[in-house]
Amino acid sequence: MDYVSDDYKYMGLALEEGKVAQSKGEVPIGAVIVLDGQVIGRGHNLRESDRNPVAHAEVLAIQEAAQKLERWRLSGSTLYVTVEPCPMCAGAIVLARISRVVFAVMDPKGGAAGTCFNILESPWTNHRVEVTSGVREEEARALMQSFFRSLREKRGK
């Protein structure tokens, strides 16, 4: 597996999911899960639409992948997400036994993949996740910034 080109490619799919979220008025976070070169799960934030505090992109992608594979263990898979996972999502990633997480932008207010916490590589959990950060960071940051700029402009009117 060529991590560099695959990471770029699959992060592009996560960015597309983020744009779908944005088109629905959601924070533009998107995620995809890949196993053996195949996308097995996709998700984008739906917290506002579903009025559901756990409808994060990563959780929805994990649920779809588990249903598709008809198992909860997603060993060998890689999750691509546009923003560093929060503690809830990091816990779900560990519990799903996802092997690797690739994210674009760090979350200085709640990131749980090394920024504020490091749940994914914690020695106190029964599963460790390989983490790669900064893939297509500029694009993901621009997506987030444009969303929040637009939100502030709407509120200012």
Which of 16, 17, 26, 58 is flagged as catalytic?
58
Nearest alpha-carbon partner for 114 in 96, 127, 131, 99: 131
Known binding residues for Zn(2+) are 56, 86, 89
Cβ-proximal residues to 138 (8 Å cutoff; 6+ apart), any chain: none
CA–CA separation, 89 vs 99, rounded Å? 14
Nearest alpha-carbon partner for 98 in 127, 70, 119: 127
Residue 88 is classified by DSSP as H
Active-site residue 58, yes or no? yes
Alpha carbon of residue 23 to chain centroid = 17
* Beta bridge partners of residue 79, listed in sequence order: 33, 101
CA–CA separation, 91 vs 118, rounded Å? 10
Asked if 109 and 85 count as a contact pair (C-beta separation under 8 A), the reply is no
Show which residues are catalytic.
58
